[in-house]
Amino acid sequence: MSNATTSGVSTPSDAERQPEAAQRSTLALKAGAYVALTKPRVIELLLVTALPTMFLAAGGVPPLGALVATLIGGFLSAGSANAFNMILDRDIDKVMHRTQQRPLVTGTLSVAEARVFAWTLAVVSTVVLAVFATPLAAALSLAAIAFYVLIYTMLLKRRTEQNIVWGGIAGCFPVVIGWAGVTGTLDWPAWILFTLVFLWTPAHYWPLSMKYRDDYEAADVPMLGVVRGKPMVGIQVILYAWASLACTLLLIPVAGMGLLYSGVAIIAGAWFVGEAHGLYSRAIKGKVELRAMRVFHASNTYLTLVFLAVGVDPLLPF
């Protein structure tokens, strides 16, 4: 008998195993789609700013409970905001090549499934932060979701070339959430770091808009790289890079930062400014290959280095 072992115990046939394999494949696909809704690569960058800020707020190692709760709550909060963003932007995601594999475009998830997921993350993140961190951190988390969804996605993104400037405020919230998660208050160093992320965001994102100019133009999204010439974008990136450097230096006297942070802020800042000037130089010379993504990746490295120094500096005796 083909479906039985020699001991008389039956085993599943290939026909019986196929539905089980298909079901597992579907579940894995769904799970991956839900993860994709949260934009994990974006969240990773947000956590890079929140975690070091908590060490600075504590003046050393923060309480483990507050640290874990703030990071988990912050992760879920950012995931919620990103999921709502994908729901609202699914029409333009169909047009842009770099977003055509998002789960609401491919149909892996329905809008109803994504909406339930987004609301669930919003509620759970608020509860986690309010109960296990601080009420202020929970309130700031809700404000971040509302700002990203209502102000950036619904109001600014499709209407103004300054969308990423003011919409970028949403990306600044993890800093103050991290600080509030430890202290239950907001102090000047937190606001300086908030401002740093605010100033860094256009210099980080506008090179990306230059790289994907055709995508944004096809989707009728007025990113600066679409509505302005390349030299103008380049000069704006320079200005925001310099402003970011100046802001990092302001933290030194206000928060009493030591030699490690001061050195990283100056050296990494000078490197980032140099990359921005290089982009502008290539733009005004009319070079076909602007290497805009080089500046985009440099901006990520720059912010990571600065915030790493923010977190390590309080642990050092100098």
Q: What's the rounded Cα separation, in Å, for the pair 181 and 129?
A: 8
Name the nearest CA neighbour of 55 among 316, 318, 315.
315
Query: Does 11 score more than 80 pLDDT?
Result: no
CB-neighbour burial class of residue 297 (10 A; exposed 0-12, middle 13-18, buried 19+): middle
pTM given for the model: 0.89
pLDDT digits (tens, 9 = 90+) for 17-29: 566 666 666 788 8
- Is the Cβ–Cβ distance between 251 and 192 less than 8 Å? yes
- Cα separation values, 41 from 23, 132, 240, Å: 28, 25, 23
pLDDT band (50, 70, 90) for residue 41: confident
In degrees and rounded to multiples of 5, residue 292 shows phi and psi of -65, -35
pLDDT digits (tens, 9 = 90+) for 215-259: 999 999 999 989 988 999 999 999 999 999 999 999 999 999 999
The domain made up of 187-318 has a fold known as Four Helix Bundle (Hemerythrin (Met), subunit A) (1.20.120)
Query: Does 2 score more than 50 pLDDT?
Result: no
What pLDDT was estimated at residue 4?
A: 47
Name the nearest CA neighbour of 55 among 279, 302, 228, 255.
255
Question: Boundaries of CATH 1.20.120 in the chain?
Answer: 187-318
Query: Does 62 score more than 50 pLDDT?
Result: yes
Q: What angle do the packed helices 111-132 and 14-37 form, to 10 degrees?
A: 60
Question: Boundaries of CATH 1.10.357.140 in the chain?
Answer: 30-185
Name the nearest CA neighbour of 205 among 300, 120, 132.
300
- The HSE-up count of residue 146 (CA atoms within 13 Å, CB side) is 8
DSSP class per residue in the chain? -TTB-TTS-B---HHHHHHHHHHHHHHHHHHHHHHHHT-HHHHHHHHHHHHHHHHHHHTSSPPHHHHHHHHHHHHHHHHHHHHHHHHHTHHHHTTSGGGTTSHHHHTSS-HHHHHHHHHHHHHHHHHHHHHHS-HHHHHHHHHHHHIIIIIIIIIITTT-TTHHHHHGGGGGHHHHHHHHHHHSS--HHHHHHHHHHHHHHHHHHHHHHHHTHHHHHHTT---HHHHS-HHHHHHHHHHHHHHHHHHHHHHHHHHT--HHHHHHHHHHHHHHHHHHHHHHHHHHTT-S---HHHHHHHHHHHHHHHHHHHHHGGGS--
Query: Does 101 score more than 80 pLDDT?
Result: yes
Q: What's the rounded Cα separation, in Å, for the pair 106 and 88?
A: 15
Output the CATH code of domain 30-185.
1.10.357.140
